[in-house]
Amino acid sequence: MLDFIKEPWPWYIAGPLIGLTVPALLILGNKSFGISSSLRHICAACIPADINFFKYDWKKEVWNLFFVFGIFLGGIIAIQFLADPNPVQVNVKLVKELGEYRIANFNYLVPIDVMSWNSLLTLRGFLLMVVGGFLVGFGTRYAGGCTSGHAIMGLSNLQWPSLVATICFMVGGFVMANLLLPVILSL
């Protein structure tokens, strides 16, 4: 059984399990699935400033903080007890392509040559981590939610704004991966 848990699960098992969270949350408490709102709840709880955006009853949404903490705790448990000690096998074609951009060192699936404290002081590291992080945060706020909230919860509830947001996420991801990222990695 432990070997089954350690292996990557096929889409036809993992996908329905993720999809079942939507009706479970709706049935158990009329709650919406989403991760990005938890940052707002944390800020509303911790920042006693007079900012209208944080003036609401965040205690009604405390379940979301427990949900996110469960994801965090699950990640810690998985890395401590279920991690494969062998190096991650990265596709040879991807290794060759990334080598052209001077990326050769991987820790799990994270390219250390781009995502590390040392690379943060380079132009491409700054663009990817700081500017990219800002754009993800801005986009999440502007769209009224993150990809998981819109693509999983919003689409399953047939919400038009979630369809528009998900299409924009996909187009933005395609443009970034195929047009902008090669230019940034070439720096």
pLDDT tens digits, 109-150? 778 888 888 888 989 889 989 999 999 888 888 888 888 888
Q: Which two tokens stand for residue 23?
A: 């009706």
pLDDT at 31: 81
Give the separation between CA 22 and CA 117, rounded to whole angstroms.
37
pLDDT of residue 45: 85
Task: Locate 94 and state its tokens.
Answer: 């991807």
Global model pTM greater than 0.85: no
Q: What pLDDT score does 41 carry? A: 86
111 backbone dihedrals φ, ψ, rounded to 5°: -75, 105
- Per the listing, tokens 């158990």 go with 28
Per-residue pLDDT averaged across 149-159, rounded? 87
pLDDT at 1: 64
What is the structure's pLDDT at 149? 84
pLDDT reported for residue 108: 66
* pLDDT tens track for 73-112: 998 998 888 877 777 777 889 888 888 888 887 766 778 8
Per-residue pLDDT band for 55 (boundaries 50, 70, 90) equals confident
Q: In Å, how far are 62, 77, 101, 113, 157 from 107, measured between CA atoms?
A: 34, 18, 17, 10, 38
Both tokens assigned to 16: 């329905």
Please give the structure tokens belonging to residue 12: 């036809």
Rounded distance between C-alpha atoms, residue 84 and residue 79, angstroms: 9
